[in-house]
Homo-oligomer: A and B are copies of this chain.
Amino acid sequence: MAPATTRPPDLDQDLACDTPHSPDPTTIEALRSRLLGAASVEAVADVFKLLSDPTRVRLVDALSHGERCVCDLAAVVGLSESAISHQLRLLRAARLVRVRRAGRLAFYSLDDHHVVGLLHDTRKHVEEGGA
């Protein structure tokens, strides 16, 4: 009897070239010159790592609809203001969100349009896969 599988069978094997071949050095060098440098790769991976937490995804999602204060964010996400503040501080340190003072209130927003695009693309990717 065949064992139960939880994903398409072709994912259980490595798909590589049947005939291993030596890559063309000129092509490889040309591609390498267009790639992210080591520091940028680490920085990009760090941004993804920060966003790999569901609570932080919720906060970025909420802020993608406009700026909010900690009190509102805590109510929306259903966590304490102190827990939300802690996550916002991490997101601010990575420049994913920023804060502005308005009298006695403090409003958080996404730092730039790239952060909005980042969440939008990931959301679309997930939704189109039927998640």
A binding-site residues for B, Cβ under 8 Å: 7, 11, 14-23, 27-28, 31-32, 34-36, 39-49, 51-54, 56-58, 61-62, 65, 68-72, 75-76, 81-82, 85-86, 88-89, 92-93, 95-96, 99, 101, 104-106, 111-112, 114-115, 117-129, 131
Contacts and interface: CB of A to CB of B under 8 A. Distances in A.
A125 B47 contact: yes
Contact of A15 (B23, B93, B99, B131): B99
6 contacts: A16-B85, A17-B71, A20-B81, A44-B126, A45-B53, A118-B121
A131 B39 contact: yes
Given A48-B52, A48-B122, A118-B118, A36 B57 contact: yes
